[in-house]
Amino acid sequence: MPGDTEISWTDRTWNPTVGCTKPTLPGGAVSEGCRHCYAAELHNQRHIAYQNGQLQNVPQYARPFHQLQLLPERLLIPLRWTKPQRIFVNSVSDLLHEDVPDAFLDRAFAVMFLAADARGHVFQVLTKRPQRLQAYLTHPGRRALIAAAMAALPFPGAAPASVTFRDAPGPLTHPGLWLGTSTEHQAAAEARVPALLATPAAVRFLSCEPLLGELDLLPWLHFDHCPEEIDPAAYGTTSDETCSGCEGQGVMPRSECHARMASTLHWVIAGGESGRHARPMQPAWARLLRDRCASAGVAFHFKQWGTFDERGTRTSSGRSWPHRTLDGAHHDAYPDPEGGRLDDQGTAALLIHLHQRGPLTLKQARALLPGAPEWQVWAALEGLTRSGLAVHEGRAYHAGMDEDAARRAYGRLSGERACATCGCTEHWACPEGCWWTAEHQCSTCSDARASLRQR
């Protein structure tokens, strides 16, 4: 049923379909992420109860989980929610399942596009069938079909909204429509990520849960800002036709480089497996995802450890929802769909990565952080002078810490010397806004601030 959820990366769930079958990867093997499907286990338990005369008021349990059910009576539910929310689409099914007709998809996407505008919702569509998602959204006549479905919705303003939608130029994207796929290990990523990247979207995301093996996303992580565009002199090119600014990609035609900027991942979710048959997640697997995301400036969200904690110990509750820290830090970042840029936290991580290739000027930092408070611009630059602390600070702040918490965390790592006036630690800012640097050590807040202005 639709409603509130404990899932850390969303606010509510919406299930216009129920049930699923386990997809296979190339070669015919069942997707390992589906082997111990929590939704199937729970549904089938309730199906048995229904057959025994219980739960008679919930007819969806009359059928077993492997029989996919369309529930058109639920399609309008998001339009009734007036408060803007993040909505996980089909937490107990797959909207892109092969048994869901295109006509039903047209109605579901019509609701999503309309509700994203009228209610301000963000719809998080997660599928293990990105190939069908790509084919569906890139179909030449899809916009007109969704517009027709939108016009038929019993919602005030649906008809004029459908005309505006029908006549809009460009691909079928919206800041309130995020598209993702599940990747539990490298083989699943290789089978699914290319189709997701080929699908137009304001936000593309991966759910690496349950994370069942090492997963290196480097082949699909790219800058949302090309370093060559930021500072051509620093990054340079080997010729007028090639670009050498993109980490991990080598020298390539500039047109291909900049095309990759538009076809990238924006968000990665990671978590361990839960349930009776859970398999432990190795900390190194989660760290690799975190570090790759930090290097590429991609938002990273660590959902949970699952049944096994970071030491490989089975938790007594079977779930470790409160235990959501990775190396002592929460990672709760979200992408920014407006303009394809990350939020300030993600951009700070991008600054750190760029500095590894060459120095950044204050002007470049400000350009990368439009509208950011001056303290954050200086934080990024000051952290970049010491890569070890900078990486830690980047991860901590990228994890969604508030300003004061990030400052305290960074201060504890940066040394024991403190401001004689207010007690703030070296290399970080005190609540009054003063700064300490190794090059300009002062004994008063005013002197510390003045020394930075002179740099």
Q: What's the pLDDT tens digit per position in 336-378?
A: 665 333 333 434 444 444 444 445 566 666 665 555 555 555 5
388 SS3 class: helix
311 SS3 class: coil
Q: Which long-range contacts (CB under 8 A, 24 or more apart) does 438-445 make?
A: 438/385, 438/386, 441/417, 443/419, 444/419, 444/420, 445/419, 445/421
Kindly tell me if the per-residue pLDDT of 320 is higher than 90.
Answer: no
51, 124 Cβ separation under 8 angstroms: no
Kindly tell me if the per-residue pLDDT of 25 is higher than 90.
Answer: no
pLDDT per position as a tens digit, 231-276: 344 334 444 455 544 443 444 555 555 444 455 888 999 999 988 8
Percent of the chain with pLDDT over 90: 38
129/55 Cα distance (integer angstroms): 31
CA dihedral 448, 451, 452, 455 (to 10 degrees): -170
Q: Residue 209's closest CA among 418, 440, 343, 10?
A: 10
Strands 325-326, 329-330: parallel, antiparallel or unpaired by DSSP? Answer: antiparallel
* Beta-carbon contacts of residue 322 (< 8 Å; ≥ 6 apart): none
For residue 34, what are the CA distances in angstroms to 25, 96, 281, 312? 11, 15, 16, 21
Strands 177-182, 203-208: parallel, antiparallel or unpaired by DSSP? Answer: parallel
* Local confidence band at 230 (pLDDT 50, 70, 90 cut-offs): very low
